[in-house]
Chains A and B, each alone.
Chain A
Amino acid sequence: MAGELYNKPILFAVVATVVILIGTLVTMFYPMMRQEMHPKLDNLKPYTALQLAGKDIYQREGCNNCHTQTVRPLKTEVIRYGDYSKAGEFAYDRPFLWGSKRTGPDLARIGGKYPDAWHYAHHENPQSMFPKSNMPKYAFLKKAMVDPPAIEAHMKANDFPYTAADISALAGKTEMDALVAYLQSVGTAVKKKASRVVAEAGARQHEKNPLAGDAKAIALGKTLFAENCEACHGANGQGGIGPSLADDVFFGVKGDVADDDYFEVINNGIEPGMVEEGRVAKDTMPEFKALGKDKIWSLVAYIRSVQGK
């Protein structure tokens, strides 16, 4: 009887289809009926017109062939990239852009990590910051203009809210503007862990740099500076995307601050609104916690040597 199957192509095809559909139903269609597959974080916002245009460019350029957008819940990965990804962060991504290969770093927490100016410079010429990076140069995005009517159609297809003013505001924006706007939104629905100890002016005992003046530490600091800071603060800390570190202006206010204030900003990074010694930051700098204490103190020692202190 079972032998019959192998003489009856139609029956065979039907049976094969049923066999194929069992796993499909259980692992693909059934989950789709469940709420857990459609989660949305409360503060996740639909993309704005400019951000969506940027996401379209991200897809067009195939950035996802080198970059993932999911942080796995593994200790070292959380240290490197930030809080692990939550299911509810991706409700507006059609489709998801998690990727499958990390030729470049994960971008799930890229939003707010760098100032806009950094992204412009990096996309234009990644090798100017990382000489051996294999990321392609995307300078052409600075010359290409976004197409407002097309973006309006894309907003409609996604059912995202927008106003006519949003669309007319797109005129004159470049594709680079759009891409950077998108990147700055990625992963921001999850609040950064508030691990900051915000130091009020004079409110606490200052910790001295244990490596202050140490020649070896200064040499190490110089190397670390070239690798991690130069792209923003210039070759000798004279300034660029980020401010000069050689002067005695800190967060735009004249007057020096203590060693451990330096440690604090390098360790935790900077975000707009952050307060240090009563001064308010306006811009963004990535955190360098991953370097560890000794290397950060070495950087502080180096910065002090540049300042001639």
Chain B
Amino acid sequence: MNEYQYDHQTVKGFILSSIFWGVVGIVIGLWISIQMWNADWNIAPYFTFGRLRVVHTNGLAFGLGVGAIFGIFYYIVMRLTKRPLLFPKLARVHLWVFNAAIALAALSLFAGMNQSLEYAELEWPLDIGIVILWVMFAVNIFGTVIKRKEEQMYISLWYIIATVVAVAVLYIVNNLSIPAGLTKSYSVFAGVNSANVEWWYGHNAVGFVFTTPILAMFYYFLPKSTGLPIYSHRLSIIAFWSLIFGYLWTGAHHLVYTPLPDWIQTTAIVFTIFLIAPSWGSVVNGYYTVGSDWSKMQSQYLTKFFIWGITFYGLQTVQGPTQALRVVSSLIHYTDWVPGHVHMGTMGWVTMTTAASMYYIIPKIYNTEIYSVKAANTHFWLVLVGQLMFSVTMWITGIQQGALWKATNADGSLKYTFYETLIKNYPFWRLRTLAGVIFTVGMLFFIYNILMTIRKGSILAASKA
């Protein structure tokens, strides 16, 4: 019907694929959450906790997260450049290669092909596939931006460009390895050095998959859905450059009190504290944008998602730097506190913001309205409650674990055996499963709403044709 039609189908394909992998990842999340309090849920060899946990993290980071990033970035880039994608067919191939890669990735992880690098578990043949995938994406993004019909590049495009280059550098370096067969390789980095490289990667994978792309969405869809302009352009500039500068210094805060040289740990901790500033730059920018008319929180159902999303981002970025301090790290590192932190970010900030972006895009593609605002509100409240319950229970367990591990008797001996400290987590781990179920029900409302909107839109289009 119009010149965007074909590309919009690609965008929709990515959104649906992302949702599909999200469901797979979340179901596995529930599964591993049960395995943590009942070992009978392990089915050896393919479905033990050790293998499933990486399917959960990869499925959600790369399937849900990166899938959403691909689709939503294509959409945003078309809007901000005022033109269709430069290589529409390439984008369609990209969609299919993406799904094939994620499917193979999941299968290979079930089979135990694992480099043991967190968030870079996939073995070398898949790594090559992923680099190709990223190049296909980068070519289209850069090509379309270069041939744009709008002079200025809006804030979201800065974050998109930063994401595209940073992920490429991070992914390639951390995955350098010596193959020893088709399904096995050994890192070119060893020991302490490999730890430093891995967490330089790992922290920035969080930074450039779960932060900068989500900020790109936030800066685009918040003004779009509220009709309010971003509060301060200058603040956006400062926040952007200082964020992408600061992030890369901080990886070693994941290695506090390990044998990594102290100066690297300390440098990381210092920059980690500095990161509060650029992070809150975006939070403040978001609040002040809606601050000119807070009634949007009620009248516009999407505003809630974005404002609560950025609030959780704000909380993450205060909690994160606190965790990096040596005293705090000595208590909470290696405990369940960290999954508590992680899921406030992933469930609260990432999933909320991407879901809201999808709510915006799908009706726009079909030139219609969302199927049900009420269902969207139910979705919102359920994921909010599920996420809060998840994080709060994990913070409590984490502090308890840390304290029990340290507890000593008067004569200096340990008060609790490891096993005793383990069993005390079970009530909290059960509650976490319940929290996960609530979150999942919320996501089902979301999926239903999206599918019904597509149905409604297709019928509408058919009746017009």
Contact = CB atoms under 8 A, between A and B. Distances in A.
A73 B257 contact: yes
Q: Which of B148, B250, B413 has the most CB of A within 10 A?
A: B413
B49 A13 contact: no
A306 B67 CA distance: 64
A95 B152 contact: no
Contacts of A97: 116
B6 interface: no
A61 B162 contact: no
A80 B193 contact: no
B251 A134 contact: no
B406 to A, nearest CB: 5
Contacts of B251: 27-28
A168 interface: no
A20 B191 contact: no
Contacts of B444: none
B44 A140 contact: yes
Contacts of B413: 79, 289-293, 295
Interface stretch (A4-12, A180-188, A196-204, A241-249): A4-12
Contacts of A37: 192-193, 196, 261
Interface residues on A, range: 35 or more
Given A39-B192, A76-B414, A127-B39, A157 B186 contact: yes
B42 interface: yes
A157 B124 CA distance: 14
Contacts of A133: 39, 419, 422
A302 to B, nearest CB: 17
A126 interface: yes
A16 B396 CA distance: 40
Interface stretch (A82-90, A207-215, A253-261): A82-90
Interface string B27-53: 000000001111100101100111101
Given A60-B112, A157-B179, A12 B54 contact: no
B248 A65 contact: no
A36 B261 contact: yes
Contacts of B115: 59, 95
A29 B113 CA distance: 28
A23 interface: yes
A65 B53 contact: yes
Interface string B426-459: 1000000000000000000000000000000000
Interface in A1-54: 6-7, 9-10, 12-13, 16-17, 19-24, 26-28, 31-32, 36-39
A13 B165 contact: yes
A153 B49 contact: no
A127 B42 CA distance: 13
Interface stretch (A100-108, A232-240, A269-277): A100-108
A130 interface: yes
A216 to B, nearest CB: 17
Interface in A85-124: 85-87, 89-105
B192 A24 contact: no
Contacts of B162: 16, 20
B293 interface: no
Contacts of B45: 61, 140
Contacts of B24: none
A7 B244 contact: no
A80 B417 CA distance: 8
B254 A19 contact: no
B187 A7 contact: no
Interface in B276-329: none
Contacts of B192: 37-39, 87, 90, 96
A228 interface: yes
Contacts of A292: 409, 411-414
Interface string A153-180: 1101110000000000000000000000
Nearest to B260: A87
B200 A134 contact: no
A219 interface: no
The main secondary structure of chain A at its interface with chain B is helix
A19 B178 contact: no
B10 interface: no
A66 B50 contact: yes
Contacts of A227: 417, 419
Contacts of B148: 9
B191 A87 contact: yes
Nearest to A28: B200
Given A12-B161, A90-B192, A61 B185 contact: no
A133 to B, nearest CB: 7
Nearest to A10: B146
A19 B180 contact: no
Nearest to A224: B417
A94 B194 contact: yes
Interface stretch (B222-230, B263-271, B375-383): B263-271
Contacts of A10: 142, 146
Contacts of A96: 190-192, 194-195, 198
Interface string B393-435: 0000000010001111101111001110011001000000000
A132 B330 contact: no
Contact of A59 (B116, B200, B255, B409): B116
A141 to B, nearest CB: 9
A102 B244 contact: no
B171 to A, nearest CB: 13
A92 B190 contact: yes
Given A39-B191, A62-B53, 7 more contacts: A22-B248, A89-B191, A90-B259, A92-B190, A150-B184, A290-B413, A292-B414
Interface of A: 6-7, 9-10, 12-13, 16-17, 19-24, 26-28, 31-32, 36-39, 56, 59-66, 68, 70, 72-74, 76-77, 79-80, 85-87, 89-105, 126-127, 130, 132-140, 150, 153-154, 156-158, 227-228, 289-295
Interface of B: 35-39, 42, 44-45, 48-51, 53-54, 112-118, 142, 145-146, 148, 151-153, 157-158, 161-162, 164-166, 169, 177-181, 184-198, 200, 241, 244-252, 254-255, 257-261, 264, 267-268, 271, 330, 333-335, 338-339, 401, 405-409, 411-414, 417-419, 422-423, 426
28 contacts: A9-B145, A9-B153, A10-B146, A12-B158, A16-B158, A23-B245, A27-B196, A38-B193, A61-B51, A63-B50, A64-B50, A65-B50, A72-B258, A76-B408, A87-B261, A90-B191, A94-B187, A96-B191, A96-B195, A97-B116, A102-B334, A103-B36, A134-B38, A136-B49, A140-B45, A157-B178, A228-B417, A292-B413
Sorted nearest first, the 7 A-B pairs with minimum C-beta distance are A292-B413, A62-B50, A23-B248, A90-B191, A157-B180, A60-B112, A23-B249
